[in-house]
């Protein structure tokens, strides 16, 4: 027995598209807004601070769930942005920080050669 084939909605293309607007009205609504205060920028700001940030602090600042914060740290911070993310346990809590104390210390020492 052959399977029945569902018919697609055959509405006219002009019926599906919104009416044309002038060029100024058609611009993106976000074009005038600054993207400096995004959740990602807030999280990176916390991670760049000398104290660093815990998962809980990042969750509170962004509104993300714990698994989303961890995914952000691994996927965006480490892989996409290729930032040096450090983690250490301070007072029984894991603190994440961008930047390396070892990198800044080696940058201060002129006796080390870089290749």
- Asked whether residue 28 is domain-assigned, the answer is no
- Asked whether residue 18 is domain-assigned, the answer is no
pTM attached to this predicted model: 0.58
Question: Cα–chain-centroid distance for residue 91?
Answer: 28
- Asked whether residue 56 is domain-assigned, the answer is yes
41-51 per-position pLDDT tens digit: 999 999 999 99
Q: At what angle do helices 39-48 and 55-62 cross, to 10 degrees?
A: 150
List the one residue out of 84, 103, 100, 90 whose CA is nearest residue 53: 90
Look up residue 26 and give its two tokens: 């058609």
How many CB atoms within 10 Å of residue 99?
16
For residue 61, the domain's CATH number is 1.10.10.10
- Asked whether residue 17 is domain-assigned, the answer is no
- Asked whether residue 91 is domain-assigned, the answer is yes
Domain range for residue 97? Answer: 37-108
List the one residue out of 59, 54, 44, 56 whose CA is nearest residue 99: 44
45-75 per-position pLDDT tens digit: 999 999 999 999 999 999 999 999 999 999 9
- Asked whether residue 92 is domain-assigned, the answer is yes
Report how many domains make up the chain.
Answer: 1
């Amino acid at each position: 027995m052959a399977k029945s084939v569902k018919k697609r909605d055959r509405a006219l293309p002009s019926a599906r598209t919104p009416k044309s607007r002038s060029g100024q009205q058609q611009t993106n609504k976000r074009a005038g807004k600054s993207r400096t205060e995004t959740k990602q920028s807030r999280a990176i700001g916390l991670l760049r601070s000398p104290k660093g940030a815990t998962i809980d602090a990042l969750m509170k600042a962004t509104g993300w769930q714990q698994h989303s914060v961890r995914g952000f740290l691994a996927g965006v911070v480490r892989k996409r942005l290729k930032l040096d993310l450090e983690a250490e346990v301070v007072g029984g809590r894991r603190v994440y920080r961008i930047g390396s104390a070892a990198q800044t210390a080696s940058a201060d020492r002129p006796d080390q050669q870089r290749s």
